[in-house]
Chains A and B, each alone.
Chain A
Amino acid sequence: MSAPLLAIDHLDVSYADGPDRRRVVHGISLDVAAGEVVALVGESGSGKTTLVQAVIGLLPEGGRIDGGAIRLAGTDIAGWSQRRLDALRGERISLIPQDPGSSLNPVKTIGAQVGEILRLHRRLGRAEIREASLDLLAQVGLSQPALRLGQYPHQLSGGMKQRVLIAIATALRPSLIIADEPTSALDVTVQKRILDLIDTLRRESGTALLLVTHDLGVAADRADRIVVLRDGSVQERGPAAAVLSAPRSAYTRQLLADIPSLAAPRLRPIPAPREGPPAVVVETLARDYPGAGRRPFRAVDGLSFTVAPGTTHAIVGESGSGKSTTIRAIVGLERPSAGRILVDGLDLATLRGDTLRAFRRRIQLVYQNPFSSLDPRQTIEAIVEEPLLNFEPVARAERARRVAEIVERVGLPSGLLRRRPAALSGGQRQRVAIARALVLEPKILILDEAVSALDVTVQAQILRLLDGMQAERGLTYLFVSHDLAVVRRIADTVTVLRDGRAVEQGTVEAVFERPRDPYTRDLIAAIPGQRLPAPRPVAAEA
Chain B
Amino acid sequence: MSTVPTRVFASGSEAGRTAPAAAARRIARGGFAALRRTPPGLVLAWLVIATVVLWALAPGLFAGQNPVAGIAREKLLPPSAAHLLGTDALGRDLYARIVHGAVHSLSGAFVAVTVGLLAGTSLGLVAGARGGLVDLLVMRLVDTLLAIPTLLLSLTIIVLLGFGTVNAAIAVGLASVASFARLTRSEVVRVRGADYVEAAYGSGGTFWRVLWRHVLPNSLTSVIGLAALQFGTAILSISTLGFLGYGAPPPTPEWGLLIAEGRNYISRASWITTAPGIVVVLVVLSANRISRAFAGSPR
Contacts and interface: CB of A to CB of B under 8 A. Distances in A.
Interface string B184-202: 0000000000111011111
Contacts of A418: 11
B204 A436 contact: no
Contact of B213 (A333, A364, A367, A386): A386
Nearest to B7: A382
Contact of B203 (A367, A382, A440): A440
Contacts of B11: 418
Given A18-B37, A367-B199, A373-B199, A390 B218 contact: no
B3 A386 contact: no
Nearest to B37: A18
A374 B196 contact: yes
Given A333-B198, A365-B199, A367-B195, A375 B214 contact: yes
Given A18-B37, A333-B201, A386-B200, A373 B195 contact: yes
B218 A387 contact: no
Nearest to A366: B199
B196 A375 contact: yes
B203 A373 contact: no
A372 interface: yes
Contacts of B37: 18
Given A367-B199, A375-B214, A376-B218, A390 B204 contact: yes
Nearest to A359: B204
A391 B204 contact: yes
Contacts of A436: 199, 203
A263 interface: no
Nearest to B213: A386
Interface residues of A, number: 29
B211 to A, nearest CB: 13
Nearest to A332: B202
B4 to A, nearest CB: 9
A357 B206 contact: yes
A477 B3 CA distance: 34
Contacts of A376: 218
B41 interface: no
A367 B7 CA distance: 27
Contacts of B201: 333
A189 interface: no
Interface residues of B, number: 21
Contacts of A377: 217-218
Contacts of B3: 389
A287 to B, nearest CB: 17
A440 B204 contact: yes
Contact of A390 (B194, B206, B214): B206
A11 interface: no
Contacts of A389: 3, 209
B162 interface: no
Interface string B206-247: 100100011001100000000000000000000000000000
B218 A364 contact: no
B203 A364 contact: yes
Nearest to A440: B203
Contacts of A89: none
A372 B195 contact: yes
Contacts of B217: 377
A389 B7 CA distance: 13
B31 interface: no
Given A372-B194, A386-B213, A390-B209, A360 B218 contact: no
B16 interface: no
A536 B139 CA distance: 62
A369 B202 contact: no
A387 B203 contact: yes
B20 interface: no
A365 B194 contact: no
A364 B202 CA distance: 7
B200 A369 contact: no
Contacts of A373: 195-196, 199
Contacts of A358: 204
Contacts of B251: none
Contacts of A440: 203-204
A331 interface: yes
Nearest to B204: A390
Most A CB atoms within 10 A — which of B11, B37, B204, B205?
Answer: B204
Contacts of A365: 199, 202
A375 B203 CA distance: 14
Interface in A331-371: 331, 333, 357-358, 360-361, 364-365, 367, 369
B140 to A, nearest CB: 23
A375 B205 contact: no
Contacts of B7: 382
Contacts of B199: 365, 367, 373, 433, 436
A49 to B, nearest CB: 25
A367 to B, nearest CB: 5
Interface of A: 18, 331, 333, 357-358, 360-361, 364-365, 367, 369, 372-378, 382, 386-387, 389-391, 418, 433, 436-437, 440
5 contacts: A333-B202, A365-B202, A373-B195, A433-B199, A440-B203
The 6 residue pairs across chains A and B that have the minimum distance between CB atoms: A390-B204, A387-B203, A373-B195, A375-B196, A372-B195, A360-B204
